Structure 1
């Protein structure tokens, strides 16, 4: 097997594979560092630029539905709770989730996975219908053929969510790469330049104040720990080598074991918070331990008009042997 051109985020649990300390049966991956990794998402779904690539889970589901020939293995490089990812302008008057109805909220693109999770938890737990919020974006959708709902609009050329939130022209926005933690399209340096709102008289505040108790309660009730970063492979490679998906999964599992990191180190690397009980793996691989999160994400994608047709958890993964790892 020839070397596979690959890119994914380098965490403690993926480093050994990126650096070649763990290899596939045919040899090491041809690892290509990509920053920000979001740039690779777009390159993969538009150009099939890699053989193996990390993708945002929602981007993957939409790309599959649009006919992009990629297929996933159940390796999820990151999981993250989102109750702390909504910032409100100081003069917005927003105090509870229901106050978002009829307001304008910034998100980098409507299909951003963080946005899908945030809209899902707002709907499920607080009755906030995403269709009753005006969503404002400042970047393209990765899947270029996707047309967002009518309550989604783009900023004017040259403007950004950072500008709009700072000036009070939107009421709230998501944080990090999903919102006001960057400016512009995914390109080198976008997170190291002007990253976040400029100083204002009163800084934006978190909608939920202290989110950790809400995250613990949500996980306890639902079993859903939001997934981010799924590993995909070009579908023709799996057709040509039916063992490839199993071998990739085993290699990522071996890299995780090679990290030798304890739970605390993994939690710190993932910024995972304390919602997951101490006796649970914070980053499990496999279908079964991620099934509830996958089912929730698929449901949210359907409810938010990102997917037109139902899809099952089983059909989104390549055939393979995936013991929990």
Structure 2
């Protein structure tokens, strides 16, 4: 008899077939659960409600460091982003580089969110500003209860807080509304901090070889005990779908997206990234995860470095 497993993920070329209910794994049917990524994260990290779910890398590692035993993971990274492009200031501000923001007020949606951990790491190691040389503000509750040096901002609208001058700059994964930041990226109330942010991100990659991981795929340990073959099978399925998605973006008989120059973008990315533009697997990503754990330790959010077998299910450590 076919058994249904609940699966909660954001929709992308990497997950579309899974989230449309088209996939099975042997006698296991993958049953999509629709929710925003923020809702998925809170439910999974607090209650482990889904058999399979996308999850914040930072929240997962913080929870593991505190003894979380309900979840395991596979090295499938559904979200990656440099986040240089996610730093905003008011359009009339004088700043064009993070090194100019020393002793300024800086806002994040959440202190522990993966992107915020990366950006604070950039401040320390790339831009020369220590954590205690900034005033941090946050605008929503932490999904894993933690102590932070951040002040809670007024309300929950981080864009209004920036526009009104409560903070001098923000980092937010979600693009500001068009009323603040037009589709062209120019002429609004807010602007990106970096004048040529896309070149800034490419320069960071050339220097470090890092395409920052944001989210991984978690599995409920109870489910894996019942279906020990699941982590390996799911990893292979999701690797195949990711590779198919990239191949489809390169197919010129039709444009897979609504971006006119998508082929140029993918080709240039492949040239810069030595063909694998979105790597899955432990071997290609473990050194980056180790670096990220060091950033969590510097933030006081993780007390010890975790080993691969603590982070990922044993059946996928060869990937």
Deviations 1:244-279 (A, max 9, x none): 21121122123334545245869969x999666264
**Which of 159, 164, 167 is 1:162 aligned to?**
159
In the alignment, the residues of structure 1 paired with residue 104 and residue 267 of structure 2 have an alpha-carbon distance, to the nearest angstrom, of 29
**Which of 295, 315, 319 is 1:320 aligned to?**
315
Instruction: Name the TM-score, length of structure 1 as normaliser.
Output: 0.83
Match of 1:106 in 2: 107
Alignment of 1:58-207 (within 5 A): 58-68=58-68, 69-143=70-144, 145-148=145-148, 150=149, 152-156=150-154, 158=155, 160-177=157-174, 181=176, 197=180, 203-207=189-193
In the alignment, the residues of structure 2 paired with residue 129 and residue 252 of structure 1 have an alpha-carbon distance, to the nearest angstrom, of 38
Match of 2:248 in 1: 261
Match of 1:295 in 2: 290
8 Å CA contact 1:219–1:275 kept in 2: the answer is no
In the alignment, the residues of structure 2 paired with residue 311 and residue 273 of structure 1 have an alpha-carbon distance, to the nearest angstrom, of 36
Q: Structure 1 residues 257-266 or 213-222, which shifts more?
A: 257-266
* Structure 2 unpaired stretches of 5+: none
8 Å CA contact 2:105–2:169 kept in 1: the answer is yes
Residues 274 and 161 of structure 1: CA distance in aligned 2, closer, same or farther (over 3 Å) = farther
Q: CA deviation at 1:161?
A: 1.8
Residues 82 and 273 of structure 1: CA distance in aligned 2, closer, same or farther (over 3 Å) = farther
In the alignment, the residues of structure 2 paired with residue 41 and residue 274 of structure 1 have an alpha-carbon distance, to the nearest angstrom, of 33
**Which of 177, 183, 202 is 1:216 aligned to?**
202
8 Å CA contact 1:5–1:29 kept in 2: the answer is yes
Secondary structure of the 2:4 match is coil
Secondary structure of the 1:246 match is helix
Match of 1:285 in 2: 280
Deviations 1:63-117 (A, max 9, x none): 2223332111010112111222211224544343222221111110101111111
Secondary structure of the 1:284 match is coil
**RMSD of aligned Cα (Å):** 2.9
* Structure 1 unpaired stretches of 5+: 182-193
Instruction: Name the TM-score, length of structure 2 as normaliser.
Output: 0.84
- Aligned length, in residue pairs: 303
Residues 202 and 258 of structure 1: CA distance in aligned 2, closer, same or farther (over 3 Å) = closer
Residues 96 and 285 of structure 1: CA distance in aligned 2, closer, same or farther (over 3 Å) = closer
8 Å CA contact 2:179–2:188 kept in 1: the answer is no
